[in-house]
């Protein structure tokens, strides 16, 4: 297939399943990937990445890590907004404090 060709999810899943099911038939994982990639019509490196992604998806610690990354990103965004709000409040407080000092005092 041409470079940059998009493969359907069915093709990807089938190719990955073929690799994982036929590991015992080949001397190495790479040999299985090369052979099946040739049959599927994709590059061996592309298929290797699909297999690696499928293997990682099955690991709970990888899934947890992805959830943790998303949560950390969300918290960092929140911290940034809070720091920005604090800076605005600090400047407003200084402005009004200065205005209070500059105001003439009332004499009764």
Please check whether residue 91 is in contact with residue 99, taking contact to mean a CB–CB distance below 8 angstroms: no
* Tens-place pLDDT, residues 20-72: 999 999 999 999 999 999 999 999 999 999 999 998 887 777 667 788 889 99
Token representation of residue 107: 């004499």
DSSP assignment string, 27-46? SSHHHHHHHHHHHHTS-HHH
Grade residue 99 by pLDDT with cuts at 50, 70 and 90.
confident
Residue 4: per-residue pLDDT: 64
The structure's pTM equals 0.53
């Amino acid at each position: 297939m041409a470079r940059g060709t998009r493969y359907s999810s069915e093709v990807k899943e089938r190719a990955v399943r073929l690799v994982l099911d036929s590991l015992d038939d080949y001397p190495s994982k790479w040999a299985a990937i090369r052979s099946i990639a040739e049959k599927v019509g994709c590059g061996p490196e592309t298929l290797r990445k699909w297999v690696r992604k499928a293997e990682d998806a099955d690991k709970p610690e990888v899934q947890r890590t992805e959830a943790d990354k998303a949560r950390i990103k969300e918290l960092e965004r929140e911290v940034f907004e809070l720091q920005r709000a604090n800076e605005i409040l600090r400047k407003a407080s200084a402005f009004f404090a200065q205005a209070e000092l500059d105001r003439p005092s009332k004499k009764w």
